[in-house]
Structure 1
């Protein structure tokens, strides 16, 4: 009798634990179900505005769909449009230009943005005004800033020529947007002016997270400015820098509006996005244009994976 009582008293806590586990499991299932129900409207909208257009573009890219030739019936051609890209000299040139533009602009934006972030991170009179002023170019829509800079580069009344002429750097006004090198220089300068503040804003956020005690300790140990920058500043903001580079690299590779407004793709400045747009909207070759668009998507996706891998390593190291 006594043994039976002891056995039941030992089983009671086990039964109670099992009941709690069952209740918790049922509660988690209910919360998960409720979460999916609440997210379902957003998921449906995401499928309609993001997933479906991507799948539709991929489907069109597998067909020969030239709207000026509806009698063809838009036959299925498989990967022919993609193969055509690598045999299209104009497409290859646009890809190389886009890569060149991306590397050059992102490099200068990182340098200028980092310098501006270091400046804004220091305490000085009027720092708030300086921060606001630096962010103004980034706040201006790209098409507006591109049109503004197009007037600045004008060969007859442009401010850029006027400044260089008065500084005796040039002896006559030049049509900067009429040559390949001049157009590339103008596009890079405009893009750096426009988006370096965005890079500075992200890096500034990282700089403000660095403990001030680290700088004070380094100064007490006799570290110079270069040592403080390389041993304290850079290691602590490397994750922020990678994130900033990720955003800017993706934006630079997909550049369209800046080039469309300033040069229209002339003088060897046609980016992949501009060329894809021309095939879609000017030549009405939806199959080939869609293949170009899918190529841009794949390259952007690969770039994101590379940065995410690098970002993951940085997070693991920190």
Structure 2
């Protein structure tokens, strides 16, 4: 009898949860589901922007046909650029954000001011910050080359955003400058959730600081760090604005989003561009599922 009552209460809670979330699901379906469905639908056609009404159904040819995405060197080059950008930027932002968060977690009279100042790069719109860095990194008139030449670090000015060997790494550094405060803020929130008793017990036992960090702090904040990394990874995989503003359609830095924009807008190939956008969506969805599984295993280890 008790089990039956418990089951009925659980079913009632499930129904109530669905009723509460139903309006949000409807709005999400209208805002995201309909455009996604239209994009997948157009990816099955040979359609051009100038002659959209005369589109021709080609099935999966835009994906696996002789001229499909799977055989396109430019597409896979953009995939490689995006993956390299995402991995480098997220790793650097996580390490720097962790260091900044540890510093801000220490008691200080100006801690509130430092937290506010730290968010300034993140608060600047990406297009504005990208344009600002483009000016500062200009090979002839940029302030970065000016001071590096004055200090003797460089003998000749460098074309930071025009040189194919430097442009991708330069964009990674610009993204790290902008997104590190975001990572630091999320990690700082995780640090402030660590029980103070753990540190007090370690201090009484004379445990070295590095051991406290590696055996106490890091395992406890790891779920929060993983959440921050997942958010940034998903954002980095669909990067567009900073790359397009600083290097436009340069092949050396072209990301998947820039590739999609080039096919849809510059070339007017709606079907092919929609196929690329669909591939981008499913790639991000796959990585999201993998990251969620990793987070779940990490949370289970911490709970155990």
Q: TM-score, normalised by structure 1?
A: 0.86
Equivalence for 1:315: 299
Which of 139, 144, 148 does residue 160 from structure 1 map onto?
144
Q: Rg bigger for which structure?
A: 1
Residue 79 of structure 1 is matched in structure 2 by: 60
Say whether 1:180 aligns with 2:161. no
Instruction: Structure 1: state its 5+ residue gaps.
Output: 1-13
Deviation, structure 1 residue 33? 7.2
Deviation at 1:265, TM superposition (A): 3.0
Work out the CA distance in 1 between the residues paired with 2:155 and 2:132.
24
* 1:68 to partner: Cα distance: 3.6
Q: What is the CA-CA distance between 1:58 and the residue it aligns to?
A: 0.7
- What is aligned with 1:8? none
**CA deviation after TM superposition for structure 1 residue 179, in Å:** 0.5
Structure 2, unaligned runs of 5 or more: none
The RMSD of aligned alpha carbons is: 2.4
Q: Residues of 1 paired with 2:93 and 2:16: CA distance? A: 45
Aligned residues: 297
Q: Secondary structure at the match of 1:178?
A: coil
> Does the CA-based 8 Å contact 1:117-1:200 persist in structure 2?
yes
Are residues 1:250 and 2:234 paired? yes
Question: How far did residue 109 of structure 1 move?
Answer: 0.6
1:69 Cα offset (Å)? 4.5
TM-score (norm 2): 0.90
Per-residue CA distance 1:162-196 (angstroms, 9 max, x = gap) = 22122211123222111012211210110000001
Q: 2:273 aligns with which of 289, 298, 314?
A: 289
Instruction: Identify the match of residue 90 of structure 1 among 74, 83, 97.
Output: 74
Deviations 1:2-39 (A, max 9, x none): xxxxxxxxxxxx9xx9xxx7xx969x86x887876665
Q: After TM superposition, which residue ranges in structure 1, 4 or more long, deviate above 4 angstroms?
A: 31-41
Distance between the aligned counterparts of 1:37 and 1:310, measured in 2? 30
Alignment equivalent of 1:102, drawn from 71, 86, 95: 86
DSSP 3-state at the match of 1:292: helix
